[in-house]
Structure 1
Amino acid sequence: MTLKQKRDAAPAIGFSPLYQQVKSVLLQRLVDGVWVPGSLLPSEIQLAAEIGVSQGTVRKALDELAAENLLVRRQGRGTFVAEHDERRILFQFFKLVPDHGERRFPESAVLNVTVAPADAEESAALAIEPAAGVIRIRRLRALDGRPLILETLSLPQKVFAGLDRAEIPNNLYSLFASRYGITIARARERLKAVALSADDAAALSVATGTPALRIDRIALALDGMPVERRLSLCLTEEAHYLSDLR
């Protein structure tokens, strides 16, 4: 049954533009893993015939997904599912930029990986049961060899089973996609100026009370499920937070 036949047969509950309905169909295929990161999508003509809409409607839906960094349009080659390569993460998710120099992907050094019951904040952020297991990854991130970020990541143990026993790569979002089939689609961040505690300052090799930018990020999968909470303490004496607003 085509999208049009389903729409005609179903009672009207609400209205959304046809291209948005097509977008939802295509997005569900990404969620279901029908198209994996890096794979080539069928042509616009093929998708239009399969779904039962015009090629222009499909094109508009694909353009929106590309604008959201979920698809990549390559001239003369087609449309591909976006991968979490370093360049994509750098411009979509990593916002700390040196004051003098180009935006670069940071190096990472894992300090420790532990498993523990979720605390109240983790439970709320990740929408999991109180005291459900979480994997906590604590690591330092550096630019030009200087540690600038102290991160604590909290991940639902049920979703990322075994990650606490695996090697932790610098590019975690690529691992999420390749090993667990989870693509990070977007994130919400809260920023606040703080003074570093003695332990956090020691990890960053600065004095207790040094000012830092605290970034509290919730990363969401394609289906909107929160799958990562990331607390980042960032030194900004020689770097700044850059956000492109559109």
Structure 2
Amino acid sequence: MTEHKVEIAMRPDGPAGAEILGFRPLYQQVKANFVRRLVDGSWAPGMALPSESQLASEIGVSQGTVRKALDELAAENLLVRRQGRGTFVAEHDEQRILFRFFKLMSDDGIARFPDSKVLDGTCGPADAAERTALNLQAQEAVIRIRRIRSLGGKPLVLETVSLPAHVFPGLENGPVPNNLYSLFATRYGITIANARERLKAVALTPDQAEHLRVAAGTPALEIDRIALSLDGSAVERRLSLCLTEEAHYQSDLR
């Protein structure tokens, strides 16, 4: 049982302020402790973390246990290890989002972050699909943002972003940046940890086709994404209609 042995993180004579971490494998308990710090904003995007030895002393575990927890969070893109500089809370910068969340790539194989043009932003009662996706009750409001995303000046994606209004109050009234996930983190303290996507082939309606400057009935790839925050809450539904004549969906499997 050496690999999965669970230590007791705090004893009566343990370091002051150490936390009782329970009886799961210890590195997972430490990881959960660190995730809570990300969730409550104690560790903010871009922040440099204390050293492994400092964290180990604070929690009352070995430095190796702290390192394993930090390594897992780095593998999940929540932390960034920088050689010679330390460990930092990941930011939703364009480069990170490009390779993790935006999977549409032009057929020339060059990864580019798309331009964005907002069509409209509204707030109103969630429809049935939004209530299901975001775990909302009847009559709860959502903010809806519709925008066109382009590569090389050519419209490629018609996107509808639905957000719980109580999580992102007032977002529909201000400027909507291209990089929404950075805005979520900096203004609202919401970090997107991962997402679930469903893909489906569809034909564009006349209204959808007009926005994308193609004929009605043109085939498109529909991507229905639910983005989850660090605590596992569904905080965004993003429905994207993508033209694939000169682009493709790329997913790197590991």
TM-score by length of 2: 0.92
Partner of 1:84 in structure 2?
A: 92
Paired residue secondary structure (1:3): coil
Which residues of 2 match residues 1-246 of structure 1 at below 5 A?
3-5=9-11, 15-246=23-254
Question: Aligned-pair distance for 1:10?
Answer: 7.6
Residue identity in the other structure for 2:10: K
CA distance in 1, matches of 2:131, 2:30: 34
CA distance in 1, matches of 2:101, 2:207: 26
Paired residue secondary structure (1:5): coil
Q: CA offsets per residue over residues 89-148 of structure 1, 9 Å max, x none?
A: 001100000001411100000001111100111011111112211100000000000000
CA distance in 1, matches of 2:9, 2:59: 5
Point out 4+ residue stretches in structure 1 off by more than 6 angstroms: 9-12
Consecutive unaligned residues in structure 1, runs of 5 or more: none
Question: Aligned-pair distance for 1:68?
Answer: 0.3
CA distance in 1, matches of 2:24, 2:210: 53
Paired residue secondary structure (1:142): strand
8 Å Cα contact 1:185-1:222 kept in structure 2: yes
Residue identity in the other structure for 1:111: L
Residue identity in the other structure for 2:93: D
Consecutive unaligned residues in structure 2, runs of 5 or more: 1-7, 13-18
CA distance in 1, matches of 2:212, 2:205: 11
Paired residue secondary structure (1:105): coil
TM-score by length of 1: 0.95
8 Å Cα contact 2:9-2:21 kept in structure 1: no
Residue identity in the other structure for 1:149: V
Question: Aligned-pair distance for 1:224?
Answer: 0.5
Question: Cα RMSD (Å) of the superposition?
Answer: 1.6
Q: CA offsets per residue over residues 137-177 of structure 1, 9 Å max, x none?
A: 00000000000000000001111101111100000000000
CA distance in 1, matches of 2:38, 2:228: 14
Question: Aligned-pair distance for 1:11?
Answer: 11
Question: Aligned-pair distance for 1:179?
Answer: 0.4
